[in-house]
Amino acid sequence: MKQLLLVFIGGGSGSVLRYLLGKWLNNIETGIPYGTFLANISGSFFIGIILGLAAKNQSLSPHSTLLLASGFCGGFTTFSTFVYENHVFLKAGDYLHFFIYLSLSIIIGFIAVFSAMYLVKQI
């Protein structure tokens, strides 16, 4: 039961932060979802730090890892919104923004996770 509560609290916190980021940064005029992009990239970096610390000498407890990785990062990052926004680009025939958003999100997301894990190993 404690694990469920940790995921619930972390997920709720991450979801609220993602919502606020989207309200602040998603551009209605251009349709470019900067808030979602930033949430996914920073969430990728953050989960790399969390899992890197958890793997390095058990620097984080299993409960902290559950709260932060499964909970917070799970609520903060949003694959479903990312896919929907790409669908909107395709439906509008905006292939350039579709390609840029899709490519950069995946490439920079991977770089963020690997960079964070590398940085944690260096500490």
The pLDDT tens digits along the chain (123 residues) read 999 999 999 999 999 999 999 999 998 787 889 999 999 999 999 999 999 999 888 889 999 999 999 999 999 998 988 999 999 999 999 999 999 999 999 999 999 999 999 999 998
Structure tokens given for 14: 């991450």
When divided into structural domains, the chain yields a total of: 1
Binding-site residues, in ranges, read: 74, 77
pLDDT value at position 100? Answer: 96
CA distance 69 to 73: 5
3-state secondary structure at position 72? helix
pLDDT value at position 27? Answer: 82
Cα→Cα distances 57→4, 18, 82, Å: 25, 31, 34
Binding-site residues for Na(+), in ranges, read: 74, 77
Cα→Cα distances 72→4, 17, 56, 79, 87, Å: 13, 9, 20, 14, 26
Q: Which domain holds residue 8?
A: 2-122
Place of tokens 């680009």: 89
* Phi/psi-derived region of residue 20, left when phi > 0, alpha when psi is between -120 and 50, beta in every other case: alpha
pLDDT, tens digit, for every residue of 53-67?
Answer: 998 888 899 999 999
Model confidence, pTM: 0.86
What are 26's strand-pairing partners? 33
Place of tokens 């958003």: 101
pLDDT value at position 123? Answer: 85
What are 33's strand-pairing partners? 26
